[in-house]
Amino acid sequence: MASVTHNKTKKSRPFDLSLIPLATFLFLIGACENQEISSETLLKSPLSRESGKETATSVVSQFNPDYLQRDVRDDVFYFVLPDRFDNGDPSNDEGSKAIAISSGGFDPTSTGHYHGGDLKGLTHRIDYLKDMGVTAIWLTPILRNQAVQGDSAGYHGYWPVDFTEIDPHLGSNDELKTFIDTAHAKGIKVFFDIITNHTADVIKYRECHTPGKPLFSTSTQLCEYRSVAETKAGNGYTPFIPEGNENLKTPDWLNDPKYYHNQGDSTWEGENSLYGDFVGLDDIDTDNPVVVEKMIEVFSNLIAEFKPDGFRIDTVKHVNIEFWQAFVPAIQEFAKSQGIPNFFVFGEVYSGDTDVLSYYTREGKFPSVLDFAFNFKVRDVLVNNGGTHHLKELFDNDVKYFTETASPDLLMNFVSNHDVGRLGYALQQAFPEASDEELLKRMQLAHGLMFFARGIPVIYYGDEQGFTGDGGDRGAREDMMPSLTPSYNDNNLIGTAKTTADENFDKTHPLYQTFKHYASLYHQYPALRRGEYQVLYFEKEPGLFVFSRYLENDRNKYLVILNSASSNKSYQLPASWKAFDVVLGAVATLDQAIVIDGLSLAILKGSH
């Protein structure tokens, strides 16, 4: 075990329960039971001078219900695939009735096809999200896609062909505006997932594709990557567009092969990570200054028409850094000109390496990235049963993220997503004999850290209903509406007897209730979302992880105590903590030590 200290905080150490005579310990616990005093009351009685009483402070970062003026650090995000949420309009299930390339692909029994969810369904369910404390909804890409490529469909939105209109499987431009207006009226922001790296797989190469039969790269490379040097030497590919697809994309400039790299399929290593086709998807030449200008124009037009509150940007590390240096500031500046003062941009950099992640905040002008390092470290502790020192190692690297426009508290914390899969699945695989109660506790604990450590919490749709999935990618994209997909419906959900064959918008689900409570505390206490973050204690084995959060202009300080072990643990409070209240959880006290249950989280509030 180890501890970390700060100049303003005295060293803390764990309290050894073996030093307390068993009879004494049982007497204390028995006294609570006999007098019907809760462990929270036991905690408050000897230590808190004015338990439960609040005093007004001069905190300047109170939660702002005005979505337009609200700082993104006050938001609780909900990440959702519209196609897998709720079907508000079955008439659009097959997509476009006029544009063949965006028609079809509907098969709710398949994990790789459209299931019918749409913008009307999302609009209908906004109160379900608002009641859980969600203040920002992040949608997977919603622009018009090539509906079918090979043996699967573009339900996820990552195969765009038209950057000006909504995919007809999801609805119309007007229905998107209705959804955004409805969300805004309820104080909820809307974020678009956008793509600048590629379009749908339309361009083919004469050297490796059959002209008469379109082929798509999926799990294998159809067209081996050819390097920049090979291409410049005249040994590159000869691109062509199959007959009938010459004007498939919008804006029109996207139909010209000269605006693409055309170097074959990426293996995501070395230079081909930047210049290769992402599983065959047409890799846009973002090195070209004309492309930079036109891409800024494309996404400025989307901001002007729909007034979203920010962008999540896909496949960031597969685009040259110079593009981001121009694109990100330009987009934010344009949004301000449209009356969106806090337009927020965060990037998807698929890496657990903090040097790689922070490179895009330092050099790429991104205010934030999805914190894959957070995701991986949380799994190290709660899935792989590692020591809590993994979390300390994570937060030690936060210094890398500080720039004029970025900081660690802008990082996007998540424990599940549509690529890495659901935390629930990972837990079931790691603990096949675990009870539902244990899995539920681990889910609650992981999400508690997601909410109350530095960074912005991102709930992955369905986690609040105990979804588990079948792994990453398609396996983690179940339906909230009643599902017809056999491979989803045979999963054991956490915290409920339901399956995905049922409708899963249950506000009484224990995880929904937990996230709702977390969100309430997150919004109630500014220090828990904006406060300075200081690690106080960690261990080299499953056990305690303790950190404090505080704001300089707030007389209160908060201790967040996580116990990843299955057994109870005790923690010797810093000497300055003579009086405090319990904000979250239940703990018992023994002198200056507290005892916290296994697999649980507690938050204490004291003055400093």
Give the residue from 563, 538, 560 showing the smallest Cα distance to 549: 560
Q: CB–CB of 318/278 below 8 Å?
A: yes
Residues comprising the chain, all counted = 608
Burial of 385 (0-12, 13-18, 19+ CB in 10 A): middle
Q: CB–CB of 281/218 below 8 Å?
A: no
Distance CA 40, CA 47 (A): 11
Given the residues 283, 348, 478, 506, select the one marked as catalytic: 348
Which pair of tokens denotes residue 526? 């500014």
Given the residues 75, 93, 314, 464, select the one marked as catalytic: 314
348: annotated active-site residue: yes
Distance CA 362, CA 369 (A): 11
93: annotated active-site residue: no
Q: Which helix (H) or strand (E) holds 443?
A: helix 436-452
Q: 333: alpha, beta or left, given left = phi > 0 and alpha = psi -120 to 50?
A: alpha
Distance CA 244, CA 416 (A): 40
Distance CA 98, CA 398 (A): 51
Distance CA 94, CA 107 (A): 9
Q: 576: alpha, beta or left, given left = phi > 0 and alpha = psi -120 to 50?
A: alpha
CA atoms in the 13 A half-sphere facing the CB of 126: 22
Give the residue from 81, 135, 138, 136 showing the smallest Cα distance to 113: 81
Q: CB–CB of 454/567 below 8 Å?
A: no
Q: CB–CB of 80/170 below 8 Å?
A: no
Q: CB–CB of 115/155 below 8 Å?
A: yes
Catalytic residues: 314, 348
